[in-house]
């Protein structure tokens, strides 16, 4: 079964507007971590934001915020004030049982974001 689901293959957003990227996950673990990465056309994976399953506050990092709804098992990424440089592919990922030594990230299919001027 797929652990991470990103249902939006592609999205367009106007410059300076906000965009929400959906991510739902599936796990039976009580303890897990959720990540968002940005992959520009050059290929490198850039870490954006992290949310631990026990974190009570939604994570925020500059223009990135994570809307964490544990009961719904969703971890949507919100990018505020979009910039042209935000155009990239965005991946949601999960690490289950983070206190084990088996640090494996499961990635979603990704969402391509295109910011329009």
Partner 1 sequence: GAVVSQHPSRVICKSGTSVKIECRSLDFQATTMFWYRQFPKQSLMLMATSNEGSKATYEQGVEKDKFLINHASLTLSTLTVTSAHPEDSSFYICSALLPGTGEKEAFFGQGTRLTVV
Site for partner 1 in 64-103 (CB under 8 A): 89, 91, 95, 98-99, 102-103
Q: Which residue matches tokens 């990018």? A: 79
Min dist CB 16 to partner 1, Å, is: 27
3-class secondary structure per residue, 86-107: HCEEEEEEEEECCCCCCCCCEE
Q: What is the CA radius of gyration of the chain?
A: 14
Question: Least distance (Å) from partner 1 to the CB of residue 107?
Answer: 5
Structure tokens belonging to residue 101: 């030594």
> In the set 3, 8, 50, 63, which binds partner 1 (CB under 8 A)?
50
Binding mask 9-48 for partner 1 (x = CB under 8 A): ------------------------x-x-x----xxxxxx-
Q: In the bound complex, what is the minimum distance in angstroms from residue 28's beta carbon to partner 1?
A: 17
Listed in sequence order, the residues at least 6 apart from 21 whose beta carbon sits closer than 8 Å to its beta carbon are 6, 8, 11, 36, 76, 77, 78, 79, 90, 92, 111, 113
Q: Which residues bind partner 1 (CB under 8 A)?
A: 33, 35, 37, 42-47, 50, 52, 89, 91, 95, 98-99, 102-105, 107-110, 112
């Amino acid at each position: 079964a797929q652990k991470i689901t990103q249902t939006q293959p592609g999205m367009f957003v106007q410059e300076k507007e906000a965009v929400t990227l959906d991510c739902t996950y599936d796990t039976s673990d009580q303890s897990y971590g959720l990540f968002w990465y940005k992959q520009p056309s050059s290929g490198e994976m850039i870490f954006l934001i992290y949310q631990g399953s026990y974190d009570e506050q939604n994570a925020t990092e500059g223009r990135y915020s994570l809307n964490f709804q544990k009961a719904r098992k969703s971890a949507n990424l919100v990018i505020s004030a979009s910039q042209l440089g935000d155009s990239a592919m965005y991946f949601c990922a999960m690490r289950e049982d983070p206190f084990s030594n088996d640090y494996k990230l499961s990635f979603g299919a990704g969402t391509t974001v295109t910011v329009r001027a």
